[in-house]
Structures are given as C-alpha cells and as structure tokens.
Structure 1
C-alpha cells in the first residue's frame, strides 16, 4: 500500500514540477505579458484575493511535504532482499529464494514431453506455495493429460527438493507450436 501511495505522490510531484518548469520557461521567454505577471504578484501580496494566497500557500506546503517524503525514502536503508521462503529447523534457519523455487518448477515442467517455452511465477499462499506456469504445447499431445502431468511433476519435485508444501499448480497453455508441413511436389 505504501509503494502505491509513493507512486501516486511521485506522479503528482512530477506533474507539479513539470507545470512549474513550463511556467518558468514561459516567463523566461516573455510569453506572459509583464503587466499580467506584476498584477499576479500584486494580487498575491494584497489582501484582495484571499483564495489566491490560500491556494499558493497550500500547494507550497503540499509540495514541501512530498519533497520531505521523497527525501526520507531516498535516505532510508532498504532491507529489501530477494523474496524468500523462511523455515526454522532444529539446526537453524533456512531461506529459499522464490527464484530457486521458480527454477525447480521450470525444471520439473520441462521434463514433460510436448511442452516448450515455459515461464513460471511463484507466490506464497496461506497453505503453501502457489505455482503458475505458462507453456506452449506441441499440439500432438492431449492438453488435459499434459497439464495434469506437469502439475503432478512440479508439485512432487518442488515438495521433494524444498520440503515446502505446494498448495496449487496452475498451468496456462498459451498456444501450440505451429509446425511447418511442406509437401514436396514432384512433376
């Protein structure tokens, strides 16, 4: 949630800085009449236009607070390491990266005949690891049989190697391999 908020703040901050740059450029190349700028400054300092003063002060305070937030984020040490699955045993702690689990799933799925171009995504669910696979089938094998074999192989291989329960293996067959059948023509 914080990352989404930071992205939204960065977007708004970028828009505001961009608008300020365009206004400064326009004033620098005399696109605004001098009377208009002097009237704007006069109205800002006179008490006649309270809404203008309030708007400028509010926007300035918000921009300053956003700047402080980005300054804090830039200086904060990142504890972010590669996402992993942590286990505690009687001998100590074990950390297995999600990339390792992904590679194990890809290895197990690649052993199945009739599957090509595999991609995997691993998520940690409440009941165990959730594996999502995207594959291209050869079009010669039964897709339901192929996907069941992949699911079974991935589940057993990952559980055997990591010791972590696999809650779900979903397989998405994106396409089949288009084989070129050329018939030779004899005349």
Structure 2
C-alpha cells in the first residue's frame, strides 16, 4: 500500500470516527435527532454533508476493490517472475529464502541463520538474521555472508539480488558446540 492509499485510508478512518461519535451521542440522547437533522439541512452544512458523503462512498468503494484488483494483476506478490524460453517462470519468495538459508548456514562461525525476502526496486532484497559463535570476526563474517548469499541466490535461481542486509542478533551460548574453527 503506497503513501497515497495510506493517507486516503486515514481520512476515511477519521470520518468514520466522527460519524461513530455522532451516532453514539444521538443514541445516548445527548443530541436530539431533530436538532441534528435540522442543522445538517441548512446552508452550508447540507453542502458539506453531500461532499463528505460522496468522498466517503468513493473511498469505501476503492478500498473494497483494492485487494481483488491487486490479485488480478497476474503476478502474486510472493514470487518473482522470470522470462523463460518457453514461457514465464515463477520462483516463490519461500524458495529464495530457503536458498539463502542454505548458503548462510554453511558459513563457518554462523550458529543459526534465517532470512526474509521481499521485492526491491532493481531486484529482491534479502534480510538475514544470524547468531554467531564467540571469538569470530563479526565484520568479516557478515561481509562473507552478504557476498555468499547474493552470489548463491543469483547463480542458482537466476534472480537479481539488489541487496543483502545482515543483522547479527546475538552470540551463541559459549558452552554450545558448533561450527567454530580454531586458529590452527
């Protein structure tokens, strides 16, 4: 959902909130229905009511059909579309995530590795979370993870990787035996 749609949804929510409060006041007897009706039919309030009603109706119609229009575009939001020799090829984000996880978990010094994939402007973005072993050069390991994941996904899936973002969440528990390597 882009910024314009979010703003329109915000406006629709504000109008709905105001109308909800007014209906609650009418229902509680704080305001008289006849007084509210007489005020809303006098100039300029009748013009304001007309404009607000039409705008709310149009916004509601837009957001009612927003999801179905997006689905009908042909490409699911959770896949990448490639051109093949004999037609289109779709690779799901889950497949790309599994490829990134496979390569990232093979790195020496990485205890756990998980990733998420989303669409970027010039390719896909891969965000990785990893837990590293103690006494590892974290900067070198994260650079290696970025390069290894990017090259592996591009080579195996044929998908352009725009960026690989690595987030080191924590050190692995020191007593846990893992893929640590000694300096010898």
Same topology, TM > 0.5: yes
Which residue is 1:78 aligned to? 71
Which residue is 2:174 aligned to? 179
Which residue is 1:97 aligned to? 92
Equivalent residue of 1:160, what SS? helix
Which residue is 1:9 aligned to? 8
Q: 1:88 to 1:144 in 2, by over 3 A?
A: same
Q: TM-score when scaled to structure 2?
A: 0.72
Contact kept, 8 Å, 2:120 with 2:162, in 1: the verdict is no
Q: Which has the higher Rg, Structure 1 or Structure 2? A: 1
Q: 1:81 to 1:89 in 2, by over 3 A?
A: closer
Name the CA distance, whole Å, in 1 between partners of 2:50 and 2:15: 14
Aligned residues: 173
Which structure 2 residues correspond to residues 1-187 of structure 1 after superposition, within 5 A?
3-32=2-31, 34=32, 38-46=34-42, 50-73=43-66, 76=69, 78-79=71-72, 81-122=76-117, 123-126=119-122, 128-166=123-161, 168-179=163-174
Equivalent residue of 1:10, what SS? helix
Deviations 1:125-158 (Å, cap 9, x if unpaired)?
Answer: 53x5543322221122111332233234323422
Q: After TM superposition, what 4+ stretches of structure 1 lie above 6 angstroms from structure 2?
A: none
CA RMSD of aligned residues (A): 3.1
Q: 1:87 to 1:25 in 2, by over 3 A?
A: closer
Q: 1:118 to 1:16 in 2, by over 3 A?
A: same
